Amino acid sequence: MSNADRNPIPVKRDKPLAALTPRKPRIALVLGGGGLKGFAHIGVLRALAERGVEPAVFAGTSIGALIAAAHVAGVEIPEMEERARALRRRDLFRLNRLGMLLERTHAPSIYHDEPLRQVCAASVPDKRFDELDKTLLVNTVDLQRGSPVVWGLPGLRDVSVLDAVYASCALPGFYPPGDVGGRSCVDGGVVDNLPVSVASQGMDAVIAVDTGSSSIVTQRDIARHGFSAIYMRAATTMMHALQLGPLERWVGPPMILIRPNVAHIGWFSFTQTDELIEAGYRAGIDALEHMESCLSGEGGVFPRRQMRVSVDREKCIGCTLCVALAPQLMAMDESGKAVTRIPVVEWSPADGDFVHHCPTYAILAEPVEAAEGENQPEAMDVTSAEEGAERLKTG
């Protein structure tokens, strides 16, 4: 053996071997609640599979928890679609007539728990969280403590996945609370319908799918539609308001926020399953086009679009609500009418909620590309809301 064989010349490398191979990004997929609107999650899962996106963590609330658990258990997407199409009202709702008759206001719910438990058991593994091959987080609320409990986190893994998923789906008043590890738990949407903060820990990016609280569309004569419709309208409004803060002030890893167009569909519509799945698929495909820019960013919510904000002066009544909600973008002129400080802004799906709150629908926000060809003011500025706010502070 030659000296060269005994003492090979070392190869100089600028980086260790591990750094030469790019690390696969760790992505958390968070599926929100929303009743049967959550069937849109199935379409999003199909879009992720086609794009080869494999999340490291799956998290969910209510139906989002059910679909996430089914996916982790290995239920194939076509089978999920078939089960969703086959679901009927009688499979979920059976009135607790005897309980309401005998216990009246002391009855825990208006529906029995058995049908919902059977739906969960058909897709959810009969295992503990620490027996799963993938990380699953199920969001619930501990009724006694009045605080969220996310099963699957460290120290909260030695409980039944099925029990946790049922509890996460147990909408208060509709179904009895579920017992999970000795805790009386209900639907996690009571506090956080889209648990992105918990799921994002240690992740490089988050994909969040919001189906239940994404937007509030006008519903006329809601008071005439009975207890269920009024309750769900109030619940949707509450969830929407609770969700705004965490998303508008997001400081975690980059987030892709997917909001399928399902606001016009009822929480418990059994006749629009295919439309829901397709809406989720289309929204997923569109949002994933921005995956590269999301992963290369340092933070924020994606996708981002340039939006033109304007005010219809004839409709504006000068109530100042828009200024109170969005002082960095809106102001009042000398005549007491609302005006935009920054006509064109860059918004994510989490921005611009104040537009909806105008009592006379006087504020209009539309994508800039939708108005191509129009004459634009020479001084019009294109900037982000954050940059605009900073500019206003500095004059």
Residues with active-site annotation: 62, 187
Distance of CA 284 to the CA centre of its chain: 12
* Residue 351: burial class (beta carbons within 10 Å; 0-12, 13-18, 19+): buried
Sole residue written with tokens 């078939």:
82
List, in sequence order, every beta strand (DSSP E) within the chain.
27-31, 57-61, 135-142, 147-151, 178-180, 183-187, 205-209, 255-258, 301-302, 305-311, 330-332, 338-340, 344-347, 363-367, 382-384
The whole-angstrom separation of Cα 291 and Cα 257 is: 11
Q: Rounded to 10 degrees, what is the CA torsion of 46, 52, 54, 59?
A: -30
Distance CA 68, CA 26 (A): 17
Pairing outcome for strands 183-187 and 255-258: unpaired
CA 266 distance to own-chain centroid: 17
